[in-house]
Structure 1
Amino acid sequence: MTPPKSPAVEALEQEQARQSREVGSELEDGLEATFPASDPVTATIPSIPTGIAPSPSEEAGFGSDAPLVDKALAATREPEQTDGTTFASSREELEALKVEVGLLRESASEIGSATLRVAKAQAADVLVNLKERIRRKPLPAVGIAAVIGFVWGMTR
């Protein structure tokens, strides 16, 4: 039989349970706020060519980051009309999709160039660290170079 818990232990357990619930809800809120997490963050403000931007009243109905894509998808669910208005709106939607693809392409190129800059900076840091180690301990560096040269020479 277990002894009864003291009020301090009960209060501690209650506080831990409350904190775990709060942390869980904060985590869920954070995940919902960043969904989808695979979308890259961009510091640029994309510009939309004139004549394609939807009116503010049309944008208010869409809650996503790509309202033009939402508008195009909603239009594909509507039955096609035989007059020219549906075809004209389809062209506008196609142009909007082209703009979105262009923005995605631009974001991907920015990510690629940033990754290249980071890789170059890390390689430069490794080179600087290696030079510092060789200056501090030149004899072990020469010994390691000799062993590497010997092994390389034996394999050729």
Structure 2
Amino acid sequence: MAEKFENANGGTPRTEFERSIARRSASDGSSSGTTTKTPPLVDGNGSALKRDKTNAADDQLKALKAELENLKHSVATIATTARGVASEKVDVTVADVEEALKRNVFASVGIAALVGYLWGRTR
């Protein structure tokens, strides 16, 4: 699995999640025999966390929290971009409908009259 991340990204894993998967697969013996130095865990500021056995869980928790914050920012950026694209598409669609109604005035009035008549018959 470590080879998969290294090949997919064109280098070493960049996120802490990818690094932890690479470390786990390397410790399971699923690497291809190449020895790579395990990248250190980092906190939210990018500072390397200490690698002693007593604080390993705390370090991993801090690294996961930092990764979660990065993911929150990524999702917020994607959501903002998606909202902008959707808003733009709605505006374009409304403009297209308005233009079609302006080009076909008589058909628009006829359709509106038919809808009004049908609406009145159901009431």
Q: CA deviation at 1:138?
A: 0.7
Which residue, out of 48, 54, 65, partners 1:87?
A: 54
User: 2:18 & 2:99 partners in 1: Cα distance?
Assistant: 56
2:69 matches 1:102 = yes
1:102 and 1:152 map into 2 onto residues whose CA distance is 53
Structure 1: runs of 5 or more not aligned: 1-31, 35-61, 79-84
Corresponding residue of 2:45: none
The aligned runs of 1:128-143 (5 Å cut-off) are: 128-143=95-110
Higher Cα radius of gyration: 1
Gaps of 5+ in 2: 1-6, 29-51
Q: Is the 8 A contact 1:134 1:141 kept in 2?
A: yes
Separation in 2 of the partners of 1:123 and 1:71? 41
Counterpart CA distance in 2 for 1:86 and 1:136 is: 75
Provide the C-alpha distance between the structure 2 equivalents of 1:104 and 1:134, rounded to a whole number of angstroms: 45
* CA root-mean-square deviation: 2.8
109, 115, 124: which is aligned to 2:82?
A: 115
| Per-residue deviation, residues 91-130 of structure 1 (Å, max 9, x unmatched) | 1221111111111122112111211111111111111111
Q: How many angstroms does 1:155 deviate by?
A: 3.9
Q: 1:70/1:120 Cα in 2 relative to 1: closer, same or farther (>3 Å)?
A: closer
Q: Which amino acid aligns with 1:93?
A: Q
Counterpart amino acid of 1:86?
K
The answer as to whether partners of 2:17 and 2:67 remain within 8 angstroms in 1 is yes
In structure 1, the partner of 2:112 is 145
Does the CA contact (< 8 Å) of 1:69 and 1:100 recur in 2? yes
Question: Between Structure 1 and Structure 2, how many residues are aligned?
Answer: 90
TM-score, L = length of structure 1: 0.47
Identical-pair percentage: 26
